[in-house]
Chain A
Amino acid sequence: MHDSRSALDIIIQSSTVELFHAWGIAVAPVARGLFRPEQVRSYELVASIDFDGRGLNGTLALAVPGSVFELVKQDPTRPHTGRDWVRENVNQLLGRIKGRLLQFQVTLKAGLPAVMTSDAFEKLRERGFFAVYAFRTLRGEVIVALSGQVDYSVFVYSGATTMPSEGDIILF
């Protein structure tokens, strides 16, 4: 169970780091002991997406300070709508997590991503998160939180499957 928990931690942390890197934003995971779930607070930009699979179901939430989105806006070719940006990012984050979980024999079905209000995020927080991750940036902390249910015993690693990954273009 401990190994599976560590594997999920690594999957979520590496997926988040890579996601923000793709936007040109450096983020660094905060060590688990230095961040407590009760420290989680809502930010200007919050989005969530539901997921469902064997042994893992619930909601993934991504909370980003507006100051971090300002870094993205500095590039004129980049998006200017923070709400849509965070919504698309929670979708892409779950996509990365889903892809990596396939190697653990876990297939997730995703819902549609949605922007969350501060109140909705607070209600989700009150229900409790089973995993919370914080990431430092130059402009504040990014939060990734998962609520719902997880059964770590269903995670069985099998590196045999070769999956396409982010940025791949496959022509049929």
Chain B
Amino acid sequence: MERKSVLVVDDSETIRKQVGGALAHAGYDIVEAVDGLEALDRIDERRFSLVILDVNMPRLNGIELLERLDPKKRGLLVLMLTTEVEPAIIERAKKAGARGWMIKPVNLDQLVRTVEKLIGTPA
């Protein structure tokens, strides 16, 4: 059986390695993208169980990507992971179809538990 895959989108390698490393250790298949445009390519290539998405990124930011993706229509789960706490931006993401909002720095054990709750165990 194929492992569930998670796309981690962040322009910071530090965050991609931290988050991706924790989820890979838990057994998920991890794919990384450095910004919204690269994420669009990855999403066109294959199906992901979950996308973890930063907001503040070059070229195409997380909110713009979310609005372009229309995740509910695609049946795609998206969790935002950001330093943003402004209510208007959180509301915009919610309206665009995000499933949740996580504020950096997130506890990695808690992150893994949240992912398991949303998409189930890796295999």
From B94, B99, B105, B118, A166 is in contact (CB under 8 Å) with B105
From A84, A102, A168, B14 is in contact (CB under 8 Å) with A84
Count of chain A to chain B residue pairs whose CB atoms are closer than 8 Å in the complex: 89
Q: Is the CB of A164 within 8 A of B12?
A: no
Q: Across the interface, which residues of A come within 8 angstroms of B98, CB to CB?
A: 172
From B18, B21, B99, A171 is in contact (CB under 8 Å) with B99
Q: Name the interface residues of A82-100: CB closer than 8 Å to any CB of B.
A: 84-85, 87-88, 91-92, 94-96, 98-99
Size of the B side of the interface (Cβ < 8 Å), in residues, is: 33
Q: Does A112 contact B (CB under 8 A)?
A: yes
Distance in angstroms from A77 CB to nearest chain B CB is 6
Q: Is the CB of B86 within 8 A of A112?
A: no
Q: Across the interface, which residues of B come within 8 angstroms of A168, CB to CB?
A: 101-103
Q: Is the CB of B14 within 8 A of A85?
A: yes
**In the complex with contacts A98-B83, A102-B86, A172-B100, A91-B12 CB distance below 8 A:** yes
5 A-B pairs with C-beta separation under 8 A: A98-B86, A165-B85, A168-B101, A169-B102, A172-B99
Interface residues of B (CB under 8 A from A): 11-15, 17-18, 21, 56-58, 82-87, 90, 94, 98-107, 110-111, 114, 118
A sample of 15 more A-B contacts (CB under 8 A), given A167-B107, A167-B110, is: A81-B14, A88-B14, A88-B15, A91-B56, A96-B83, A98-B83, A98-B85, A102-B86, A163-B85, A164-B85, A164-B103, A165-B103, A166-B103, A169-B106, A171-B118
